Structure 1
Amino acid sequence: RSLLVTAVSVLSCVLFEYIARKVMKRDNTIGDLSAVVTGILLAFNLPSTMPIWMVIIGDAVAIIVAKQFFGGIGQNFVNPALAGRIVLMTSFANAMSDYPAPFAWRNAAVDAVTSATPLSQMTSVYKAGDIDAAVNAAGLPTLTNMFFGVREGCLGETCAVALLLGFIYLLIRKVISPVIPLCFVGTVAVIMLIAGKGSLTFTAYQLLSGGLLLGAVFMATDYSTSPISAKGK
């Protein structure tokens, strides 16, 4: 199902880019593969249970509205994949929050078993007086499971180790600078350390929950929407 969502997203983005460029009488740019990247990133921001027709709507918003309406690659003011996610989250909040519990298919139908994400579970933890005790009692996945992706969430946000490997690969290939991702994650870490009353466990869960690492590595580093100068980064 995850592969299907990703494949549909990529193919739809490429098709929408081709059609949009054709209608606007601009040069064909599907060869630069930016539409493929957008399709993958948008899929990574979706749950595996997302209806295919909703995926296609998100792709249309990402490519036609957020990208091509503003001139194409390098001229968009917002990351196209994020624009697609925002519209889908606003329009189809229930579908965007429908996450299968890990390995639920062993005991029941996947479509019938859903679970809250660790990030949503942390809300009650934050309100507790003893943060560490509340974390242990909240029934959250272990930090090891969080690191290796055995938790609920969108396709591309669950496995921290895969995201870190992607970060290292992009650094080695000199595709991105480490400044933005490190500043992004570091700032959140400091804020969560303060909010969590000095609890390292609380901070670790916050860093590994949600799409923080996905956004820091693959979206905050977008050439079109990130600062150019070192000070700006």
Structure 2
Amino acid sequence: MQNVENKVIIVTGASSGIGEETAKVLAKNGAKVVLSARREDRLEKLATEIGENAAYLKSDVANADDMKNLIALAKEKFGKVDAVFANAGIMPGGNMSELKVDDWMGMVDINIKGVLNTMAAVLPEFIAQKSGHIIITSSVAGTKSVPGNAVYSGTKHFVRAMLDSFRTESVLEGTNIRTTLIYPGAIKTELLNTIAPSETKSMVEDFYKNVGLESDAIANAVLFAVSQPDNVDISDMIVRPTREV
């Protein structure tokens, strides 16, 4: 696809779901992908499936050094970095009155700090070359209030406000860095596995099973954003089932 072939694109959360499918779709369209996740066996399997245009590093987005090493691997293997898809995320869920503080902090570490660590690692490259593309998985929960998922929703609102502000900074600084926020609705991924068993979880799982979209819906959205001419920035994309409220 135009403006995708030979681009070097980093994908975090690549061991399953949206990240895995996006890596496959990008590689199928000629990109070189650098895969990040904590489950090395799955990364190795995916990289083997994709072939010579894939590299991987067992890494945790909550660890700043891991993200620096990921950028270094991309440059060592493919000579550059053109885009990063900051996709890793967790969603334990639950009312705040349940005081699941460890879950709150886990979401802050992955959904917020993980994105910031990824950006901090790649921005020196993008600024120096005066080009680049930062794509982040937010959520429809980042566009509204979500009772029962307040902290998760808060992390996704943070990502939305932060990247929008950064986009303006990039324009003013003349660094030509494109930004894209993708807001998935009900997508069939492992994200629901991080929610503790409950009646609410069972209802959500039934909805996802009957209505939810496959991960390729988001993968194709990422492909669309990446494939645009360099002077076109697809800033926000909500992708959800037609039947989702």
Global fold match (TM > 0.5): no
Give the number of the structure whose residues are more often helix, by fraction: 1
Higher relative contact order (CA 8 A, sep 6+): 2
Q: Per the shorter chain, which TM-score range?
A: 0.3 to 0.5
* TM-score between both structures, scaled by the size of structure 1: 0.33
* TM-score between both structures, scaled by the size of structure 2: 0.31
Give the number of the structure whose residues are more often strand, by fraction: 2
Higher gyration radius (CA): 1
